[in-house]
Structure 1
């Protein structure tokens, strides 16, 4: 056995990738940018006859940290069931301010559509799933399907970045109202994650904040949303998901809000098999065609 194969096996064990799952690491999805961004891909070794529906994972980390490998554990179970799964990088706030982050997420989706035949995926069945800052970006992907100025220039511009389902786990949705609820982070300071993201204090930059808010772009053509938030979240207040849910349902978008009783920000209660089964059912209901 050669060194490369041994290395790959060690990486799979470290990342806990089981047999029967193909793991493609560090697939570049941007072109012509200063930052060459990458994704990891998971799909079943035995491909189904029909092209696979897609789930794109967006990691959290307050837009200033985190990595794509954080999504692999969540996605393995979906790859086993016939989903094509991708967990993606995006530029962090110390690398570039908003809208760089949403531009990168949209570029990744366009890249997958551009390579649908190569990857045996269904370009008409794409879902997005994000946690915390990634939940914010997932929600923003879902509400900005017709906003050309947020597409960026990362490549594959002839393809759509729209999605057919959004799962948002405790993501910020309205920066201008995030301070209206009990929390242990001062979202008004210059050091806040939101200020770093938009390049200025929220209250002094309402237009920039509004541009980064998923709620700003809600309209009746948005895809179905499944929103999940901890009852006792003191980092991203529960009002953020409640506001998103109310705004979506007001215009007739299919949406559901699951409040995890007693849960804080992304704690172990989110590993509940019952909760994960609900996420699975949501994506299957909206992305599976067989």
Structure 2
């Protein structure tokens, strides 16, 4: 049976651009390593050997850098992409990254990788049709910790990183069940014994992440905690956290929110407790949560100088 169908071109195509090397760096032992980025981009011509079609919209698109979790011990950038397509459908360029893991590089290598990724997006803004003045960041779990750190819009000079005097100017930072206070999380891991058998600080995920010794680890963990860097120039924050999270307890986000409120900055944060939700459980991927995230990014990230609403 032969049929003809008339199609109205309402929806833009979305394609994956994969295996982009955004950084050539090294681990703590000096071994070289390539770090990769993947992107979801609208209006891409996938049948031709070009990245972006000639018929792009004239307006550039805001970009959201998405950071996967994994306790700082593992990271799979493409695993989170399917559940980010809804943001690409709304007109955002979506980028996900690998970053150096705690087994090969201690903090602050990971936040340095995030800064490098954002610098890559800015430097290649014309190639990918990115509005470099409207950058958001989103992270889950350990990635939520890194997204909040980047969202502080601070220099890294006190951490001894490259880009020491550079400020990212992130407009929006979203943490999904992210870690905000590493010393508190380290204490929880030892006492709870839910996801590890660690008995000493250096055996915990935090200990593996920040390094040091039993006498210095609290100082190092505190230095890697977003809650220590809350400031007036930080990005607007969205936090989503389940009240039944056995890995990163709700206390992490509550403490961060309460400190912002105490500092008179509660207008810069939207904090949603997700009833009955665990750590990365299915509640976070329902339409109600997607609507909250869409509304948040539309409010914070602008297109052509106007709110994307």
**Greater Cα offset, 244-253 or 77-86:** 244-253
Q: Give the counterpart of 1:146 among 155, 180, 202.
A: 155
Asked if structure 2 preserves the Cα contact closer than 8 Å seen for 1:141 and 1:162, the reply is no
Alignment of 1:37-186 (within 5 A): 37-45=35-43, 47-150=56-159, 152-153=161-162, 160-178=167-185, 179=187, 183=192, 184-185=194-195
Secondary structure, counterpart of 1:76 in structure 2: helix
Kindly tell me the number of residue pairs found equivalent between the two proteins.
271
CA distance in 2, matches of 1:221, 1:188: 38
2:299 is the alignment partner of 1:285: yes
The structure carrying a bigger helix percent of its residues is 1
* TM-score, length of structure 1 as denominator length: 0.85
Q: Give the counterpart of 2:277 among 246, 254, 263.
A: 263
Shift of the 22–262 alpha-carbon distance from structure 1 to 2, 3 Å rule, reads same
Q: What corresponds to 2:235 in structure 1?
A: 223
Q: Give the counterpart of 1:240 among 252, 256, 268.
A: 252
CA distance in 1, matches of 2:124, 2:274: 37
CA distance in 2, matches of 1:51, 1:159: 23
Instruction: Please tell me the root mean square deviation across aligned C-alpha atoms, in Å.
Output: 2.5
What does the per-residue CA deviation read over 1:240-285, in whole Å, with 9 as the maximum and x for residues that have no partner?
A: 0011112223334300111111111111111121011101111111
Secondary structure, counterpart of 1:35 in structure 2: strand
Structure 2: stretches of 5+ with no match in the other structure: 1-10, 27-31, 45-55
The alpha carbon displacement at 1:108 in A equals: 0.2
**Greater Cα offset, 222-231 or 143-152:** 143-152
CA distance in 1, matches of 2:96, 2:157: 24
The alpha carbon displacement at 1:96 in A equals: 0.4
Flag the structure with larger Rg.
Answer: 2
